[in-house]
A and B are shown apart, each in its own frame.
Chain A
Amino acid sequence: MLHLCDRSRPRVPDCIILDQPHTTTGMRSTSLLLGLILFSSALIVAAADYDTFTNSKIKRRIEASTATVKHTLAIDYKGNGNKYHLTLLNPSKVAYLNVTTNLGQELKTTYNGEHTTNGLTYGSYLVELPSGDSGKLKVIAIYSHVLRPFPEKIAQNEKQLVIFEDNHYIVSPYETTEQTTTIDLSSDRIESKSEKSPTSANGKRITYGAYNNIKPFSSSPLKVHFENNAPFLTVKKYLRLVEISHWGNIAIEDSFDITHTGAKLKTNFNRAEYQRNQNGAPAHIAKMKEYLPNGAVDVYYRDNIGNISTSNFNENAKPPTLEFQPRTMLFGGWRIQFENGYNLPSDKYLFRDNQDSSRYVLNVPFVAQLEDAVYDEVEIKFILPEGVKKAEISTPFSLDSETIGKHYTYLDTSGRTTITITKRNVVADYNTKPFQVSYHFSRSSLLQEPILLISTWFSFFVFVMVLSRFQFRIGKPVVVVPPPAAKGDQMKTGVAQLGELMRLLYSSTSSLLAYPSTSKQL
């Protein structure tokens, strides 16, 4: 394949150099040239500033056993420059991307837009390499919504089949000397698979390659049709509330709006058949499992109707595990909403800065660790204590939006500062990345709530004092003659009067108690 040469970078070897249009060739050839330029504009974008590399070896492992597809690439590269272009098909479906060296050092990766070359639409990512002419990269990319159920509709007792599509060759702007792809499936039932010699299938594993000396952007569609009954659990809308209390607690509440995005149910749901044999419906979801952060207590699980009791919380497990059955089971296309929440101790997730005593750092997981879940839309609202300043969020990944707002709850006067962040297409693997919220909070602000309560009580007493200074008696006002009791005996007199009152109360209740006997006599 040919690139247009960037004259500033003469070291790109396989390219054509376009001469300036000759003045005598006329309009026709100029327009031809223009057309050629337009036609190749994608190539220019794609190839213009690529440093030259050669992939000496790429091993690709694709795990397609759940609803998400995980690509693990081990790339051995050779060349010069420090910007490696990583290209991935279906960039809009990439939920998570992590690029490290083979020693685990994380590398800065920036998204460089979507391009099309040779019929392949790919996302281009610029990886900043550590110094050195050759090295190894480890890339983990997790895709959501790339497994397409086929047939789209199945009966209640049928197994779910899905189609996975990719490219036989690993898409790269560089020439690859040797590459292999292994695909791990959820079952050994493979309906069909595309062939590209050498191809072998062994049980749940398909191996493509090794392929040698592959040109950049070589295209050869890969397609595997196989059985996958994994839960296709898609959280269409996810809202997390994180409320911090400096009395030592972090309260978390998650709301889920879940849809089963696997193959839809062809016929009506048959309850009798379902009750007779629940294992006979392999593609449905009856149970869910969530891993909670360590130290989680006071777990609850409920929906709009109320508490759902079919849950089991194992707090001694590491991590603590919540297993629950939704109110109804989920078949393809079915939907359910619920929320669950718990409390976390502040000493595990909230930290204070040693140098700046008013600075605090919150370090909670990004999303809930709901097994097999894919999050389409994530919204997280951090409710910080009242009176915080300089609240900020630092994430190693990009966010879609970040807004500062106010939230009013118990014992608030000016309202609590909130930070709301949103992100689309998220998987729980983001929880491995350091994600922090930091703010400044003065310790004396903690006393605001008790002072508010004390002043409320005090105003009640003042109200009683004012009330007791009025006379509500009809007729002549009572003139009180001070009792002759010595100073300090006033309290004793008060107690004596209370005793008198109690006696009066007792006599009145005893006469009431005596009432039924008198009625009998009547």
Chain B
Amino acid sequence: MSGQLYPYYGPVSQALYPTLTLFLNLAGLFFFSLFIIYEVTHVGQKNLFRELSLAGLASFFLGFGTLFLLLWTGVYV
């Protein structure tokens, strides 16, 4: 059942954590702000698709950004 064993490397190198945290969170916050601007400027005449796509992009980048922030700070989830 057991074959040869190979060292296991994590999917992302630890050296990339700070860079990834910075850029993913920046991208996430950019879409976050676009979403908020859209929300406050389009009172009563919202396009649901536009709202959801902005929210989706923001949460994707912020989600991964938060993950790498946790990993960078040593909370190995």
Contact = CB atoms under 8 A, between A and B. Distances in A.
A495 B37 contact: yes
Given A298-B74, A493-B41, A494-B38, A248 B58 contact: no
A490 interface: yes
Interface in A404-459: 409-411, 438, 446, 449-451, 453-458
B12 A247 contact: yes
B8 interface: yes
Contacts of B62: 453-454, 457
Interface string A341-354: 00101111011111
Interface residues of B, number: 46
B12 A248 contact: yes
A360 B3 CA distance: 11
A247 B56 contact: no
B3 A446 contact: no
Given A350-B7, A354-B3, A454-B63, A243 B74 contact: no
B8 to A, nearest CB: 4
B8 A352 contact: yes
B77 A480 contact: no
Contact of A247 (B28, B44, B58, B77): B77
B59 A458 contact: yes
Interface in B9-67: 9-14, 28, 34-46, 51, 54-56, 58-60, 62-64, 66-67
Nearest to A243: B76
Nearest to A453: B63
A494 B70 CA distance: 34
A506 interface: no
Contact of A346 (B8, B66, B67, B70): B8
A247 B11 CA distance: 6
A490 B41 contact: yes
A461 interface: yes
Contacts of A449: 67, 77
Contacts of A461: 35, 54-55, 58-59
Given A354-B5, A494-B37, A494-B41, A251 B76 contact: yes
Given A480-B45, A493-B41, A498-B37, A354 B6 contact: yes
Interface stretch (A166-174, A202-210, A269-277, A462-470): A462-470
A482 B45 contact: yes
Interface of A: 243, 245-249, 251, 298, 343, 345-348, 350-356, 359-361, 409-411, 438, 446, 449-451, 453-458, 460-462, 464-465, 468-469, 478-480, 482, 490-491, 493-495, 497-498
27 contacts: A246-B8, A247-B71, A248-B12, A347-B8, A350-B8, A355-B2, A356-B2, A356-B3, A410-B75, A446-B11, A449-B67, A454-B60, A454-B62, A454-B63, A455-B63, A456-B63, A457-B62, A461-B59, A464-B35, A465-B39, A468-B46, A482-B45, A490-B42, A494-B37, A494-B41, A494-B42, A497-B37
The 5 closest A-B pairs by CB, nearest first: A248-B10, A355-B3, A454-B63, A461-B55, A457-B59
